[in-house]
Structure 1
Amino acid sequence: MVVQIRYTRNLFLRAMSVIYLFAFTSFYIQIPGLYGDKGVLPAKNQLDSKATTLTARIHNKPTLLWLAPYVGLNTEYMMDVLALLGIFLAFTGFISQKFCTTPMFAGLWSLYYSLYQVGQTFMWFQWDVLLLEAGFLCILVAPLRYRPVSRRKPAPLCPSDHIAFWLVRWLLFRLMFSSGVVKLTSGCPTWWGLTALSVHFESQCLPTALAWYAHHLPSWFLKLTTVGANIAELVIPFLFFAPMRAVRVVAFYIQAFLQVCIIATGNYNFFNFLTLTLCISLLDDEFFLKKKQQKGNGGLSNIISKIITWAVYIGVLYGTVKYYSLRITPNYTIESDIAFTRQEFDYALAKALPVTVYLGLASLSFIIVQAVFSSIMDTVGNFAKLRTVLSTLFYAGAAIFIFGLSIVPYSTLHPTGNSTVVPAFRMWHSRLDHLHLVNAYGLFRRMTGVGGRPEVIIEGSDHIEGPWQEYHFLYKPGNVNATPPFVAPHQPRLDWQMWFAALGTYHQNPWIMSLAYRLLHGQQEVLHLLDVSKNPFPNKPPKYVKASLYHYHYTPWSQRWSNTWWTRQKVSEYFPVFSKDHPPLVDYLRNLKIISDKAKETQTVKPFWRLVLDRLRFFVRQVEPSILIWSIFTAGLAIIVTSNRR
């Protein structure tokens, strides 16, 4: 008999609704400053098409934003509407299972993809494309329509659920395994020396206050933790497809523990919450709705399952001790070193990558055969049986197609992966790549900030000789006395991009020139992305701005009782002094179409829509973003609890 996953599937869909809720709300808050007409990167410039028909425009850049003129809105206000619609749909799916259907998730995916199309550098993150891929899978996982289930009437059999849900597990595997592989294939000395976490907690984009304490843990413990992270990403994903559910359940706990630790020490927006949601695919209804074990064979099978699970994870532990040279010292510490060479790892990866593809194909084939067999044997009635079989075959075909597409980006982990790619799937991938239905992953490829965490500090002044006053951001390190905040699942995209800007030059980040220009003009929409309460020029904008590059370090453990979290040292100039009408700056931004002549602007907004949307944004702006997001989530929980008590 096929293991039931109906409750598990429903929980996954509700959780995905929460992820969408986090993503849309966080994005909505930042639209004016990032994408408004006077924002850092105006979105309307991404819709500058020579096509004359709506169909041609959508074909060139698929986005619902093209509908803005037809409803009396401009691009910025249309982005507001799309984000608000996303918030509404996600919230309904969160509070009620009956809204978690294919049409709703198709709508959520379309809305987020429409915004992604104009997101530019502020949305070029792996978690955004991961949400698009996971969101697309939700369209397959979700039922076409809600069917209420009572105690008297059991849930209808739907073998195709297992096929669609398997794709979620395959996505989780690719995400975790790829993230583990790229750390070692990059050749980064900190990963090979197991010292990455000695740098990571200090150098990550937006650390939390707990990251300061994690950074000061003993070096041997941080090396051991790095080993644990390697095993969780390189070895444990293979167990996602184990036939024994107990093995998969332990793998779930390991992955969940890793994600919770990351959430506690770093602000990675909704990414880790999304990964936790994907981990639900490792479970089934028995995990949540445990039934009393039957006597006889049930008890015996349970014992056998435990023995196999213990054997598997003892084997994993043995391999970890061997290949990471774990040893206990006389000081009762555990030392570790990688006991294999880069050449040996490359050889192992060359052999393992095709195996993972064949393992995935074998697992999918087994699920499909099992689902088809269940459709035939367990469905009552000829018409119902025919309908169930046809539905199962449809989902089987869709799963095979998506699996084949996913091999194309996945195969880039190693040249031997090319042998596993069917040419027809490579062709289809090139045609559909812009939809981000499948993607390549690999986080923390190289550890940055080894010699100090780089930070760009922007300053303004009314006189070129000074004094210069610093602009403070809401979340990124700046003031050395400011406590690192907990801000996830909100993603302050400007703060994030400032971290990437510090790793390069301002020539590689043209958007930062636009930021300087907006500060010189005192643009309120952009200033709201910064700490308005500490605006050094509250009455009028400065005449000059400049930026410097600093290196930040955590204060030593001996200062744990002080109010200072960071020390910093100026390294160099980041960009030179700019003034409001600096000709090279203005010409540069005009060439990029970031600024334009007012006479050429033709987008208009109907007064009613402007009034409603402006009022709503005014109220939203009064609440700190992360508090707003958690307040909406808490309100949803309250609705769920009160409705269940009726």
Structure 2
Amino acid sequence: MGSWFWAPEYAQAREVCTRLAGLVYLLGFAAAVHQFRPLAGEHGLTPAPRFLRAVGFRRSPSLFHLHYSDRAFGAVAWTGVLLGLAAVLGVVAALPLWAWMLVWLVLWALYLSIVNIGQVWYGFGWESLLLEAGFLVIFLGPAHTAPPAPVLWLLCWLLFRVEFGAGLIKLRGDSCWRDLTALHHHHETQPMPGPLSRFFHRLPGPLHKAEVLANHGTQLVVPFALFAPQPIADVAAVLVVLTQCWLLLSGNFAWLNLVTIALACSAMDDRLLRFPAPEMRDSPLWHQVLVLALAAGMLVIARHPVRNMLGRHQVMNRSFNRLHLGGTYGAFGSVTRTRYEVVVEGTPDRSGESGWREYEFPGKPGDPRRRPPQVAPYHLRLGWLLWFVAISPGYGRGWMPALLRGLLRGDRGIRRLLRHDPFPDEPPVLVRARLYRYRFADRAERRAGRWWSREPAGDLLPPMSAADLPG
């Protein structure tokens, strides 16, 4: 291959990018260890075995079509945790090229197997983003080989789609992005606010408008500069990283920001990322052929996201194939103006007239006196889905009855997903789900110890016993 194929000046970029990718895999598999089985395991809210019986391998490629059990799932998830940790620590970077590719291929295949049977719990854009980024990392090569430029270009192309797609969907979607008022609401109504979200929400209106303008610039203009000569590409990558850090501070968006930062680092050359790199050599011909085949294949499927971005009816976070490659991304094409929360309660009183106690979930707002926690880059799937249910109850039609049934049984798996179970000794006899309108506390309320102010907004589900629930 000619000198154009190699990019030794991006060796440090590859090192940072791959270690961050390993960290995100580690987080993804760790979340699966803790959450998947109560959500989608054999006795979960949406059981994976039932899903596997209903769909074939072609519709949902997964190793679990060979066999699923909670024990087998645990082995897969813990394998992913260990391999992700090895990537973070740099152990994988010291392996021979073939072993490097095998480890990253196994990580990708195992996580793909989980995502494709995860159903509604894995329907988030950052799942596909991790899979696509992780697939490209397979071909980057270990530390003792020169980074192949085509793979770095593909990583930048992925970052371009993430940023530019998100910018377009905002302009085409909600009018508040066009009149610069989106952040008058977003910090308060986002899915899972963080410790500083109230501070960001209370910033002056003109500063909110400046934030929106900066967001438009970063997502609609800066991505084109990623393909410019250095040092322009370095500047563009730094602007993306700074924006993502701002988002990390202002809310909890799982590992979306971390993956985006990893992709941005792939555009930074050694003038920005300066630390010692081992002596490198060109990779063998078979690897070069694989890289060119990868580039050709990604070029072919690029027509789908390009057509989506240029089309009049752009969609967000859509995968055009079951391998989650060449997808389209974006977020918050619409911004909710009012925050509603689902509050689940139980009572030991069979009449349902008294004794109602609230269940607390780890990340979502509940107790008005509790400060919003820092969750990201970890992902609390049940809390996110409950935010969607508060917007439209139809999101919970397939699993809310099972959640309430699990609480009535005192199911151990469901209880592990809670922050606080008000019935530690004996489960309740009735449960219900209520809607509350939440807003950030004003100064006087904050001085009284509250982070939120809330008022009832109606019943989502009336009091129910186990006999009232289907299934």
Q: Which residue of 1 aligns with 2:74?
A: 80
For 2:40, the equivalent position in structure 1 comes to 35
CA spacing shift, 1:507–1:164, aligned 2, 3 Å: closer
Could you tell me which amino acid in structure 2 is paired with residue 26 of structure 1? A
CA-CA distance at 1:290 after TM superposition: 8.2
Matches within 5 A, 1:151-170: 158=146, 161-170=148-157
1:237 equivalent in alignment to 2:233: no
* Residue-by-residue CA offset, 1:589-622 (whole Å, 9 max, x unaligned): 4xxxxxxxxxxxxxxxxxxxxxxxxxxxxxxxxx
Match of 1:258 in 2: 243
Q: Deviations over 1:336-369 (max 9, x none)?
A: xxxxxxxxxxxxxxxxxxxxxxxxxxxxxxxxxx
Q: Is residue 35–residue 76 contact of structure 1 (8 Å, CA) maintained in 2?
A: no
Please tell me whether residue 413 in structure 1 is matched to residue 309 in structure 2. Answer: yes
1:106 aligns to 2:2 (yes or no): no
1:615 counterpart residue number: none
The answer to whether the 8 A contact 1:550-1:572 is kept is yes
Secondary structure at the aligned position of 2:344 is classed as strand
Please list the CA deviations of residues 115-146 of structure 1 after superposition, one character each: whole Å capped at 9, or x if unmatched: 11211101100000111111111122235xx7
Give how far 1:561 is off.
3.4
Match of 2:341 among 455, 458, 461: 455
The residue that corresponds to 2:188 in the other structure is 202
The answer to whether the 8 A contact 2:104-2:137 is kept is yes
Cα separation, 2, equivalents of 1:202 and 1:115: 32
Superposition map of 1:451-530 within 5 A:
452-461=338-347, 462-467=349-354, 468-506=356-394, 509-530=397-418
CA distance in 2, matches of 1:410, 1:395: 22
Change in Cα spacing, 1:453 to 1:416, as seen in structure 2 (3 Å) is closer
Change (3 A) 1:139 1:475: same
Q: Tell me, yes or no, if the aligned pair for 1:31 and 1:80 is still in contact at 8 Å.
A: no
Q: In structure 1, what is the equivalent of residue 421 of structure 2?
A: 535
Do the aligned partners of 2:389 and 2:395 also contact (CA within 8 Å) in 1?
no
Q: 1:396 to 1:574 in 2, by over 3 A?
A: same
The one-letter amino acid paired with 1:413 is M
> Rg larger in 1 or in 2?
1
Cα deviation, 1:522-542, whole Å, max 9, x if unaligned, reads 1111011012xx322222221
Amino acid at match of 1:131: L
Query: Is 1:173 aligned to 2:160, yes or no?
Result: yes
Distance 2:263 2:245 in 1: 14
CA deviation after TM superposition for structure 1 residue 393, in Å: 5.2
Contact 1:43–1:75 at 8 Å: present in 2 too? no
Tell me the distance in 2 between the aligned counterparts of 1:94 and 1:41: 32
| Kept in 2: contact 1:201–1:207 (CA 8 A) | yes
Residues 417 and 138 of structure 1, relative CA distance in 2, 3 Å threshold:
farther
TM-score by length of 2: 0.90
Question: Equivalences for 1:313-462 in 2 at 5 Å?
Answer: 388=285, 392=288, 394-415=290-311, 433-448=321-336, 450=337, 452-461=338-347, 462=349
Contact 1:102-1:139 at 8 Å conserved across structures:
yes
Q: Describe the shift of the 1:508–1:498 C-alpha distance in structure 2 as closer, same or farther (beyond 3 A).
A: closer
Structure 1 position 183 matched with structure 2 position 173? no
Counterpart amino acid of 2:88?
F
Q: Kindly indicate whether the alpha-carbon contact (under 8 Å) linking 2:352 and 2:463 is maintained by their aligned counterparts in 1.
A: no
Identity of aligned residues (%): 31
* Match of residue 133 from structure 1: 132
Distance across 2 between alignment mates of 1:185 and 1:553:
27
**Which of 210, 221, 240 pairs up with 1:224?**
210
User: Aligned-pair distance for 1:465?
Assistant: 3.3
Displacement, 1:460? 1.3
Deviation at 1:276, TM superposition (A): 0.3
Q: Separation in 2 of the partners of 1:457 and 1:416?
A: 38
Corresponding position: 1:546 with 2:432 = yes
In 2, distance between residues paired with 1:558 and 1:278? 43
SS state at 1:553 partner? strand
Aligned equivalent of 1:92? 86
CA–CA distance in structure 2, aligned partners of residues 266 and 175 of structure 1: 18
Does structure 2 retain, via aligned residues, the 8 Å contact 1:406–1:438? yes
- For the Cα contact (< 8 Å) 1:38–1:523, is it kept in 2? no
Contact 1:544 1:578 in 2 (8 A): yes
Give the residue type in structure 2 aligned to 1:282.
A
Structure 1 residues 196-225: Cα deviation after superposition (integer angstroms, max 9, x where no partner): 111111011111111111111111111111
TM-superposed CA distance for 1:508, in Å, is: 5.5
1:410, 1:543 → 2: CA distance? 54
1:284 lines up with 2:269 in the alignment: yes
Cα distance in 2 for partners of 1:33, 1:254 equals: 40
Matching residue's letter, 1:183 = K
Tell me the secondary structure at the aligned position of residue 272 of structure 2.
Answer: helix
Task: Structure 1: state its 5+ residue gaps.
Answer: 51-56, 69-73, 148-155, 292-378, 419-428, 590-646
Q: Deviation at 1:24?
A: 0.9
Give the conservation status (yes or no) of the 8 Å contact 1:455–1:552. yes
Check whether the contact 1:472–1:530 (CA below 8 A) recurs between aligned residues: yes
Write out aligned runs for 1:596-615 (5 A): none
The question of 1:48 aligning with 2:57 is answered no
The count of corresponding residues between Structure 1 and Structure 2 is 452
8 A Cα contact 1:555 1:566, kept in partner: yes
* Cα contact 1:454–1:551 (8 A) shared by 2: yes
Distance 1:580 1:165, change over 3 A: same
**How big is the shift at 1:417?**
10
Q: 1:250 to 1:558 in 2, by over 3 A?
A: farther
Distance 1:398 1:454 in 2: 45
Q: Is the CA contact (8 Å cut-off) linking 2:188 and 2:198 kept in structure 1?
A: yes
CA gap of 1:103–1:557, structure 2 versus 1, over 3 A, is same
Aligned-pair CA distance for 1:59: 4.8
Measured in 2, the distance between the counterparts of 1:477 and 1:17 equals 30
Aligned partners of 1:119 and 1:220: how far apart in 2?
42
**3-state DSSP of counterpart to 2:138:** helix
